Amino acid sequence: MFRSYPPQIVLEAVLNGLLTGAVYALVAFGLTLVYGVLHIINFAHGAMLTLAMFAVLVAHIGFGIDPYLAILPLTPLFFAFGYGLQRFVISPASRNDDGAILLVTLGLSIVLENLLLAIFRSDTRTLTLDYSFSVVDTGFALLSLPRVIGFGVALIVAAALWAILALTDTGKAIRAVAKEKLGASLVGIDVNHIYAVTFGLGAATLAVAACLLMPSFYVNPRVGNAFVLVAFTVVVLGGMGSIAGALVGGLVIGVVESLSGLYLGESLGQIGIFLIFILVLLFRPTGLFGAKA
């Protein structure tokens, strides 16, 4: 079953895995951030990514905005969308009860995904840009230009998120709520506002991820599901709530997917990710970087 490949091909697979993994990490940041603060999985995360990808598509086809330029308007727009969704829909509907939040986000994901299906139908679409197929020659491997850009921006976003959490007052408040929400509210932090800001940050990173993905990827109403299952794995592997863990987890998963695709073939390649997912959940549910439960 295992074929042997020349080192050149394996190296290229690893590098491509790292590039893809950075975008996985980017998708996972929002999920891990929301988990860290609200202690709940946001099941609408995948559908929100799909929505963002369609937004990039519409921005390009409708208004001629380049996907990379679309980061500027879409990031604040999605921050506002995420903030509003948590503040005015998820929080009131679930009364901040854990099981109810899980189900409300599941309900929202079904609504979003199928509204997109009703509007755009199930067709798979791509953007045709003159740089979609450009490559970077590193001397030892050829790498796709959009994916190299995606890698770089993902690292910048990780640094920016870290800076927000570590250096700003809002970041301090987010960390306080994550640790002890009752204590945080006693010292005057508006917990509902912080929940919504966290959700907004998660949505904003999705907007960035969508802008980075669209030049080299396709979109259809179900595309987010594939990413979100990978993102769950990344988050679990890195430790729920840890940004650094999500970055490392994303890169590891990218490489694993790339190598298992190379060795097991396309259809079974995804199995590798899910096996890691299940094994980590069963044997080390706090992940590689998570705090001890």
Partner 1 sequence: MSSGTFAAYRPILIAIAALAALPLAVPLLVGAGLFAGPNTFYNLMIFILIITLAAQGWNIAGGYGGQFSFGHAAFFGTGAYAQAVLQTRYGVNAWVALPLAMALGGLVGALIGLLAFRARLRGSYFALVTLAFAEVFRILANATPITGGAAGTLVPLRIGFGQMQFDAPAAFFYLALAFVAVVLILNRLLERSRFGAWLVAVRENEDAARALGVDTLTVKLKAITLSAAVTAVAGALYTQKFLYVDANIAYGAWISVEALLAPIVGGIGTVFGPLIGAVALIGLGEAAKTVIHAAFGSAVPGVDLVVYGLLLVVVIAFAPRGLIGLLRTRGGR
Q: How far is the CB of 93 from partner 1 (least distance, A)?
A: 4
Give whichever of 6 and 99 is closer to partner 1, judged by the CB atom: 99
Q: How far is the CB of 127 from partner 1 (least distance, A)?
A: 23
Alpha-helix residue ranges (DSSP H) falling in the chain? 7-38, 45-63, 71-84, 91-94, 98-120, 145-167, 169-179, 181-186, 191-213, 223-238, 243-264, 266-283
Give whichever of 170 and 225 is closer to partner 1, judged by the CB atom: 225
Give whichever of 103 and 135 is closer to partner 1, judged by the CB atom: 103
Q: How far is the CB of 285 from partner 1 (least distance, A)?
A: 6
Q: Which residues contact 31 (CB under 8 A, 6 or more apart)?
A: 41, 42, 45, 202, 228, 231, 232, 235, 246
Q: Cα(195)–Cα(115) distance, rounded to whole angstroms? A: 26
Q: Cα(53)–Cα(56) distance, rounded to whole angstroms? A: 5
Q: Tell me, what DSSP letter sits at residue 136?
A: E
Q: How far is the CB of 140 from partner 1 (least distance, A)?
A: 33
Closest CA to 155 of 17, 25, 34, 49: 25
Give whichever of 53 and 211 is closer to partner 1, judged by the CB atom: 53
Q: Cα(202)–Cα(26) distance, rounded to whole angstroms? A: 10
111 three-class SS: helix
Q: How far is the CB of 258 from partner 1 (least distance, A)?
A: 17
Give whichever of 1 and 187 is closer to partner 1, judged by the CB atom: 1
Q: How far is the CB of 275 from partner 1 (least distance, A)?
A: 7
Give whichever of 116 and 209 is closer to partner 1, judged by the CB atom: 116
Which residues contribute to the site for partner 1 (CB under 8 A)?
35, 39-41, 89, 92-94, 98-100, 102-104, 106-118, 121-122, 221, 225, 229, 232-233, 236, 267-268, 270-271, 274-275, 277-278, 281-283, 285
